[in-house]
Structure 1
Amino acid sequence: MSNDQSETDGPEDDANYREHPEKYIENYELDGSEKGVFKVEPYKSELLPHWSYADPESAEESANKLFEQYETYRENGDFVGMDMARKYCQMGFTRAMRYAKYPGGKKYDDDGEEREPERWADSEKREAAKIFKRRWDEIRHDERYQTLKEEYRNCTQ
């Protein structure tokens, strides 16, 4: 199953994760994945409109806006928002890299077999991926993010 729109709908789709952050931990493991990016509200509505990896310019604008949102969540001690911003930066990297390696972003052929990646099929997408990677790394290595992530982990054990 992919980590995006193909996720099955579940009761958590109706949750407001800002009002009920405990549901985030119940429904999404803190495993570094992109799970929930198209489901977790109100963050999806706040972050998705700013997510673009079409070219380096839009990726730069997108990554900066996502990071601004991250900083707002950080100032408010909103770990769920911080983690969702991390996921959108990660997803910007992974999607842009798919296009950078595979012409047209098609990783699989019509028979479902994985195609051989090219180096670099789309140099603009490669540059976009690098932009998102810098912001993704900045978030993952942020001391406040790490502290809150550990606190969330501990409250589920």
Structure 2
Amino acid sequence: MLLVEPYKSEILPFWRYKDEASAMKSAEQIYQLFEAYRQQDDFVGMDMARKFIQMGYTRARRYANYKGGKKYAEDGSLNTRGNDPIKAAAATVFKGWWDKIRQDEDYLKRKRRHQALWG
């Protein structure tokens, strides 16, 4: 999903979710790329930036809920769920930016058009 080039190489260097500060810097940089792709009329780039922001949220939540981000133990059983407030704060940052994109009327219009053309 996050492997499409050249977007992966352009976005991945900015993707960080270690803590709230790194998440804020990361999300802002990725959102700047989102806007740059918009200016270039590049919906695929916009959507890739959106996916990295969404994955920043889900990955930070995974690490907030499970030490080391490992939901399952070696034997397949569920690891004990915890709560890392540092990772949770990082997830909250990404969630805010993800929500902003999901409410962006221009993005939504472009998404509908892309889906109509390509499925």
TM-score calculated relative to the size of structure 2? 0.95
Question: Percent identity between the aligned chains?
Answer: 50
CA shift at 1:50, angstroms? 0.2
* Equivalence for 2:69: 105
Q: Hey, what's the Cα distance between the residues in 1 that align with 2:38 and 2:61?
A: 27
Q: Hey, what's the Cα distance between the residues in 1 that align with 2:49 and 2:19?
A: 20
CA shift at 1:144, angstroms? 0.9
Q: Hey, what's the Cα distance between the residues in 1 that align with 2:70 and 2:40?
A: 39
Correspondence 1:140 to 2:102: yes
* Equivalence for 1:62: 26
> Please, what is the CA RMSD of the aligned residues?
1.1
Unaligned runs of 5+ in 1: 1-35
State which of 46, 51, 58 in structure 1 corresponds to 2:15: 51
The code of the aligned residue for 1:84 comes to M
CA shift at 1:106, angstroms? 1.2
Whether the aligned pair in 2 keeps the contact of 1:74 and 1:144 (CA below 8 Å) is no
Give per-residue Cα distances to partners, 1:99-143, cap 9 Å, x unaligned: 11112211111112232422x2x1100000000011111112111
More RCO (CA 8 Å, sep 6+) = 2
Q: Hey, what's the Cα distance between the residues in 2 that align with 1:76 and 1:114?
A: 45
Unaligned runs of 5+ in 2: none
Q: Hey, what's the Cα distance between the residues in 2 that align with 1:67 and 1:145?
A: 12
Give per-residue Cα distances to partners, 1:46-85, cap 9 Å, x unaligned: 0000000011111110000000000111122110001000
What are the residue-to-residue correspondences of 1:124-139 with 2, within 5 Å?
A: 124-139=86-101
State which of 75, 90, 114 in structure 2 corresponds to 1:152: 114
Q: Hey, what's the Cα distance between the residues in 2 that align with 1:113 and 1:69?
A: 40
Q: If each structure's helix is expressed as a fraction of its own residues, which one has the higher value?
A: 2
